[in-house]
Amino acid sequence: MRRTEISRRQLLRGGGAAAVALPVAGFLAGCSFTQPGGGQPAGSTLDQIKKQGFARIAIANEPPYTQIKPDGTVTGAEPDVVAAVLKRMGIPEIQGVVTPYESMIPGLNANRWDIIAAGLFMKQSRCSQILYSEPEIVSTESFAVPAGNPKNLTSVAAVKADPAVKVAVLPGGFEDGALKTQNVPAAQIVNIPDGRSGIEAVQAGRADAFFLPTLSLNSLKTDGIDITPPIQDVQQTGSGAGFRKADTDLVNAYDEQLRALKASPEFDQILSKWGFSADAARGVTRDQLCAVAG
């Protein structure tokens, strides 16, 4: 299984082999070029990725959900699950494209990638725009706060109760949506571009908390910062692979092999490596997670 990261610019530029400089030989042979205007070559996405032998996946590079190693290898809980399912479908390779969460669905629908494999949590508004596989990951949310949690921020309600409190979030991310769904005023929300910036905002006092999945914050933890226990007044977070609405044949084929993977110890091995519970993912359905408000 070859897994390499390519930049969106490289993929978008894909008009000619010479334009794409990648660390891994062989990608050029199977490069699926994005047609001007994002048009998908003729044939279904399933046919296309089977023929070319790889799928382009949108990732965020937010360990442990997604991670790009220094040599460009794409890994993390979600890409590892997606790669294992695709391998069972006879598709040996994934190509990762790093992009912000808020761009993942628009980019998927513009044919910039074939699958979202980033831990893009299911909720009503997202499930109305794309098709999700059955759940692959279930997780929790926390705040990164100054050591000792001086403002005792342990819930969204605590944030809302003090208009002076500011919370850093990734714009368009699940946490941003959760604050807005609970009517936290925009004046209390600080947008930051990535995980490191969120931690720095708290360290510099520009935000009183940084709102992100618990395991992601644990990966970012540094001196002077505490990570709260899971926030209890946020609805359940869980993700699966994301697909275009038109790709029902791909989703059905994917779900069939995902069911086989989830019935095997391989699923436990992948998830536990990254700190997730395989049984938690087995115990929830796509319909349940797509019912999450927001």
Question: Which residues of this chain interact with ligand 6CS, rule CB under 6 A?
Answer: 62, 65, 101, 119-121, 170, 173-175, 212-213, 216
Kindly state the smallest distance separating residue 66's Cβ from ligand 6CS, in Å. Answer: 8
Smallest CA-to-CA distance from 39 within 63, 14, 68 is with: 14
Q: Which amino acid does the sequence have at 226? A: D
Neighbours of 281 (CB within 10 A): 23
Q: How do strand 115-116 and strand 67-68 relate by DSSP bridges?
A: unpaired
Helices 248-262, 45-52: crossing angle, 10 deg rounding: 60
Kindly state the smallest distance separating residue 290's Cβ from ligand 6CS, in Å. Answer: 13
DSSP class of residue 73 equals B
Q: Which is nearer to ligand 6CS, 82 or 170 (CB)?
A: 170
Order of all β-strands in the sheet with 189-191:
189-191, 167-169, 209-213, 141-146, 225-227
Residues 33, 36: Cα–Cα separation, whole Å: 9
| DSSP β-bridge partners for residue 190 | 168
Q: Which is nearer to ligand 6CS, 49 or 131 (CB)?
A: 131
Backbone phi, psi, residue 286, to 5°? -60, -45
Q: Which is nearer to ligand 6CS, 50 or 166 (CB)?
A: 166
Residues 109, 81: Cα–Cα separation, whole Å: 22
Q: Which is nearer to ligand 6CS, 121 or 276 (CB)?
A: 121
Taking a C-beta distance cutoff of 8 angstroms, is the pair 59, 79 a contact?
Answer: yes
- Which residues does 97 contact at the CB level (< 8 Å), separation at least 6? 5, 6, 7, 8, 11, 56, 57, 58, 59, 107, 112, 113
Q: Which is nearer to ligand 6CS, 65 or 276 (CB)?
A: 65
Kindly state the smallest distance separating residue 61's Cβ from ligand 6CS, in Å. Answer: 11
Q: Which is nearer to ligand 6CS, 14 or 79 (CB)?
A: 79
Q: Which is nearer to ligand 6CS, 34 or 66 (CB)?
A: 66
Q: Which is nearer to ligand 6CS, 93 or 176 (CB)?
A: 176
Q: Residue with CB nearest ligand 6CS?
A: 173
Residues 123, 131: Cα–Cα separation, whole Å: 11
